[in-house]
Amino acid sequence: MAARIFIDGEAGTTGLQIRERLSRLGGAQLISLDERSRKDEAARLDAMRQAELVVLCLPDDAARQAAPMLESLGDAAPKLLDASSAHRVAPGWVYGFPELADTQTNEIAAARRVSNPGCYATGAIALLRPLIDAGLISPDQDITINAVSGYSGGGKAMIAAHEAQGGPAFELYGLALAHKHLPEITLYGGLGRRPIFVPSVGHFRQGMLVSIPIFLDRLPGRPGAQEIAAVYGARYNRAARITAYPGIFSGDLDPQALNGTDRMEIFVCASADNTQVVLIARLDNLGKGAAGAAVQNIGLMLGLPDSGAAEKELASA
């Protein structure tokens, strides 16, 4: 029997992307509300009651209000995946990044409440956590993260502005240095000190590059670039959706190269004297950075087929 899933907020960018991916995935039956009922609390609660899993694709405040609605169903409450940033560091929620640690996949599969990671956070944590775990970076290291995303990650107003008016070619934002992804990057990246994070938006719909520059002689043990690349290779060689570039990369990177996929690529770039590196994650901010990650988590929570390994195999062929 197909698993019944209700997407609360399915008309938004992430909700539509999740719905489209689930329609291609066997074993899922979507419960939908007509446009007039989407803000009707009684109709939403009834849809939640019918579902085995509910996905919240809502603004943060609305997600905080929706979570207790499910709890009101008691033992009949479905599993819950929150795609907002409302519960990413909240107690009692499992962080939905299966590649975070060896045990994370099982924790997500067993969880009743899972928070989907942020797009920037997905790239930053994928770069930082393996090096923290390996002892190559100290948790108190001074870390700067730079990132550029397509405008689809900025919500309906930004999408409308770029598509109707052209939008700026490039712009920095979040310059109060308090971006909402910082708490999850700090916690799940394994950092003891909040990094400086400078996000930006380019005039392209989707795609993302997250980069972290590092002075190697400031790291414990002064590792070389090849040692860092080897850590990524060992960490992600069995991951269904993450590929680590073997060795040192020195080419150009297009942020849109993984658009339409649920994959992420990891690169290590190094100076000729091996004293500096730039660590880079490339992903589709709507794929592994949002809807693709949500479907990956849904599959784990409900025991549905996983298409990630097949996608990675095709990409490397």
Please report the DSSP string for 119-165 in residue order.
HHHHHHHHHHHHHHHTTSS-TT---EEEEEEEGGGGHHHHHHHHHHH
Q: What per-residue confidence (pLDDT) applies to 165? A: 75
57 is catalytic: no
Find the mean pLDDT for residues 23-28: 84
Q: What per-residue confidence (pLDDT) applies to 305? A: 78
| pLDDT class of 26 with cuts at 50, 70, 90 | confident
More confident residue, 184 or 12: 184
Confirm if 52 and 76 have CB atoms less than 8 A apart. Answer: no
Task: Report the percentage of the chain scoring pLDDT > 70.
Answer: 97
Find the mean pLDDT for residues 87-113: 97
**Paired strand residues for 29:** 4
Strand ranges (E), the chain:
3-8, 28-31, 53-56, 79-82, 94-95, 113-115, 144-150, 170-172, 196-202, 208-215, 242-244, 264-270, 276-283
Does the structure show a pLDDT above 50 at 97? yes
Q: What gap in Å lies between CA 156 and CA 190, rounded to an integer?
A: 32
Among 100, 119, 209, 291, which one carries the catalytic annotation? 119
Go through the domains of the chain in sequence order and give each one's CATH number. 3-116+290-307 (3.40.50.720), 119-285 (3.30.360.10)
Find the mean pLDDT for residues 11-25: 92
Q: How many other CB atoms sit within 10 Å of the CB of residue 82?
A: 27
Find the mean pLDDT for residues 219-242: 96
Does the structure show a pLDDT above 80 at 14? yes
The model's pLDDT over 164-209, given as tens digits with 9 standing for 90+, comes to 877 889 999 999 999 999 999 999 999 999 999 999 999 999 999 9
Q: What per-residue confidence (pLDDT) applies to 308? A: 60
Q: What per-residue confidence (pLDDT) applies to 84? A: 97
Q: What gap in Å lies between CA 89 and CA 87, rounded to an integer?
A: 6
What pTM was estimated for this model as a whole? 0.94
